[in-house]
Amino acid sequence: MIFAIIGVGVVVYGIFYTISTSLSDCDLQLKIYEYFGKSPRRLKGKVVFITGASSGIGEHLAYSLAKHNVKLVLAARRNEELQRVKRKCIELSNQQLEDKDVLVLVLDVTDLESHKKHFDHAVRHFGHVDILVNNAGRSQRALWENIDMKVDKQMFELNVFGVINLTRLAISHFNKTGGGHVAVVSSLAGVIGVPYSGTYTGTKYAIHGYFNSLRNEKMGKNISVSLICPGPTFTNFLQESFTEKDGVKYDKTTQPTDRRMTAQRCGDLSAIALANKLGESWMGLFPLMPFTYISVYFPIIFNTALKLVGPEIMFKLRDSKKVELTEEKYK
């Protein structure tokens, strides 16, 4: 009798789990914390340093945090855009944040030598930094065998080396202050080997390796590590994507009819992940969540299905369009 009850429980749980992940725009853990976990309000008064804060997910994460009166360090290359984001952050806080509570830093993540100067500036301004969010980065659309090694190097400098260098400064700071939290806005491409984005996928897998190692190394030492993995989102990411050729951008724009998560929703979910110190969070519209779960927990099924439908289906799910990666495109 007891085994029958356990069996029924497992079946019910499996049905609930499958339905909930299929319908949700994020993984089950994040969805549960959205309803029953800690609110981003708990971050009020904390100092959060965000790179890539002038647009996209970084911009909207800043807005989500500003609504809860979180003090912000907004870092990116474009000062005018950062000032615009700063003004809106103060507005969204209902003027609870003052000018001094939102610091703008003009920072090029690939300029490693400048990192310490900028991080020290933030520490001098606020006295400390509580959370670092590494959000700056660029995607890619390219045929794997045609990618110029210069592109590989540039993408790793931006998406990996810039991230780990700034993070090492933050970890050294957290060691002195007694703890802290570091997060990386990664991608579902760090969970699934995404076709037609070889270098980008490689950078995200590298990030997961580095930061999973860091999490395990700092376990029990009051330093939290979060990997935030969004799927396709309405940002300028596609337009700015690397291609297979050095200096050439993909230069495609998203369309209102594309199936993508809004940057605002992604920013709100990211704020929840930060507030609850979640180790890894996935987000994306249907069918990306069941797709991701199957790839992780049932890789044989995933690989078999991919062989049947072809890799182009993944490209279309991500970009809502057919593959357009021919040599003619870049001539």
Q: Which residues are the active-site residues?
A: 200
The encoded tokens of residue 196 equal 């037609």
SS3 content of the chain, % helix, strand, coil (to 5): 55, 15, 30
State the virtual CA torsion across 248, 159, 266, 71 in degrees, nearest 10: -120
DSSP-based three-state secondary structure for 52 = coil
118: Cβ contacts below 8 Å, ≥ 6 apart: 75, 105, 107
DSSP state of 107: -
DSSP per residue, 34-46 = HHHS--GGGGTT-
Strand order in the sheet with 131-134: 102-106, 71-76, 47-51, 131-134, 180-185, 223-230, 280-283
